[in-house]
Amino acid sequence: MKGYGKASVGVVTATTLIMGLMGSVSAHPRLIAGHKPVTVTLMTWQSASTNQLILNAMKPLEKKYPWIHVVNVPTPSSDYYQKLDTMFTAHNLPDLFWSGNEHEQDWGAQKLLYNWTKFAKKPGVPWFNLKKFAPDSVVNWRVKGQLYGLPTFMNTYGYYFNANLFKAAHLALPKAGWTWAQFFHDARVLTQKSGGKVTRYGVITPANSPWWMGQYAFSAGGVPFENRIANPTKVTAAKQFVLGTQQWVRAIKYGSITPPAYTVSNSTAVFSTGKVPMMGGGQWLTVSILQNHPKFKWGWAPSPIIKKQVEPYDAVGIAAPTYIKDPQAVWLVMSYLDTIGLGKMLYQHPVAAPAYVPGARYYFNALKKDGEASVANSVKYELTAPYKIPIKFLAPWAGNATNVITADWNNILMGKVLTYKGVAHMVFQINQAIKTSVP
């Protein structure tokens, strides 16, 4: 794996570029030579308190460039993408908005987003260096070589565990490098039943997906579910994929893992009561658990492996519509937010490791400050994994292919069809959806 490289823009050169790009700042903060005051709007799916932390982190930029003012466009996180769709239709999107990688790929392919390729190559600011983003992040945000946004956060996935319950059952605590055999064994041991009915699941987790079984297969020596992360051309279910799925089906049938229909309004609250041995979820749930102040020892471990380490790839980011009025000002805000602003925010609210590697120290220092070394170590372990697999389709045809999974996958997990037949049918249908969707 190549290193991230060193910053190539010197202070004098960067200053010259900035002044040439933006014009000089006059003595009066509201009188900027060659530039009128600009308000840059930003919309995220974060909570109101987190949005305020983001705005606070942008204050140094506003002080340096007083003609720029960053404001948040509040929106409920529950219907975030519905709101974005409405704004796309109405042609009134904010200057910058949070976006999932799959949406950026779709909108970028349709040329609905501003193309930042030239800015990223010649940023004109000393704080931005494209080479310092996490491996695989920027490359999978490109659409036919063009950059229609920037990755902001790298999500990681694993299992929260109640250390007290593990020790009571005389089980070793999950940690980096633990195996799928250990996972299924421990889940069964930690399950409790009464009168043949489950009174405590060994694991509560969101419904499993084909990508997790692709991770299982790849780790076991097979091929991943998709042949590449962005814009794959086919999906494959190796024999290891089928074997892993069969184990999951048996675990659901026994009651050691929650079935697909299992729902809980607040999984972190349930976990924090101390009655749940393991809970599947992303690293962002750590903040909620910390706020609940559980009265037991707990930790977070990466996804299990078979032979080699394979981890999920999931980078979310930031994008802009094509019709922004002042690309230079928006670039200043976006580049500063992604490289410096988010790092400062994460020290106060450690939801995820930033995609910009130098900013990661804020995130990891925050976790260590809160005494959660297991989360910090597990996130580092995942981010440096030699092999990555996606957790969703990153392609314009994603909707059609996902509809196939929605129709087939839960029936497979519940044992309503023979595993190998159900998987084969699903794979065939997805590949047909890809063929008919790709021009």
For the chain, the farthest-separated pair of C-alpha atoms sits apart, in whole angstroms, at 79
The distance from CA 197 to its chain's CA centroid, rounded to whole angstroms, is 36
Residues 183 and 235 in one domain: yes
Residue 239 belongs to some domain of the structure: yes
Would you state the pLDDT for residue 5? 31
Would you state the pLDDT for residue 373? 86
Q: Is the pLDDT of residue 32 over 80?
A: no
How are beta strands 96-100 and 315-319 bridged, if at all? antiparallel
Residues 296 and 323 in one domain: no
Residue 376 belongs to some domain of the structure: no
Residues 205 and 172 in one domain: yes
Per-residue pLDDT of 407-417, as tens digits, reads 999 999 999 99
The residue that leads in pLDDT, 380 or 33, is 380
Q: Is the pLDDT of residue 106 over 50?
A: yes
Q: Is the pLDDT of residue 6 over 60?
A: no
Range in 23-27, 131-135, 266-270 with the lowest mean pLDDT: 23-27
Model confidence band, residue 118 (pLDDT cutoffs 50, 70, 90): very high
Q: Is the pLDDT of residue 20 over 90?
A: no
Structural domains of the chain, count: 2
DSSP character for 335?
H
Handedness of CA 55, 57, 61, 66 (dihedral sign): positive
Q: CB of 287 within 8 A of CB of 351?
A: yes
Per-residue pLDDT of 138-187, as tens digits, reads 999 999 999 999 999 999 999 999 999 999 999 999 999 999 999 999 99
Round to whole Å and give the CA distance between 33 and 414: 67
Handedness of CA 97, 102, 104, 106 (dihedral sign): negative
Residues 251 and 400 in one domain: yes
Round to whole Å and give the CA distance between 99 and 45: 9
Residue 163 belongs to some domain of the structure: yes
Would you state the pLDDT for residue 439? 61
Would you state the pLDDT for residue 62? 94
Model confidence band, residue 13 (pLDDT cutoffs 50, 70, 90): very low
How many angstroms separate the first and last alpha carbons of the chain?
34
Q: CB of 391 within 8 A of CB of 140?
A: no
Cα–Cα separations (whole angstroms), residue 197 to 186, 193, 284, 300: 19, 5, 32, 28
Kindly report the CATH number assigned to the domain that includes residue 295. Answer: 3.40.190.10
* DSSP letter string, 383-399: HT-SEEEESS-BSTTHH
Residues 132 and 209 in one domain: no
pLDDT mean over 52-74: 95
DSSP H or E segment with residue 198: strand 197-200
Handedness of CA 301, 307, 309, 310 (dihedral sign): negative
Residue 290 belongs to some domain of the structure: yes
Q: Is the pLDDT of residue 18 over 50?
A: no
Handedness of CA 246, 248, 249, 251 (dihedral sign): positive
Q: Is the pLDDT of residue 11 over 50?
A: no
* Helical H segments across 262-397, by residue range: 267-272, 285-292, 327-336, 342-348, 360-369, 373-383
Q: CB of 124 within 8 A of CB of 324?
A: no
Q: What is the mean pLDDT of the chain?
A: 89
Would you state the pLDDT for residue 70? 97
Round to whole Å and give the CA distance between 168 and 274: 13
Per-residue pLDDT of 315-360, as tens digits, reads 999 999 999 999 999 999 999 999 999 999 999 999 999 999 999 9
Domain housing 332: 11-155+314-355
Residue 220 belongs to some domain of the structure: yes
Would you state the pLDDT for residue 7? 32
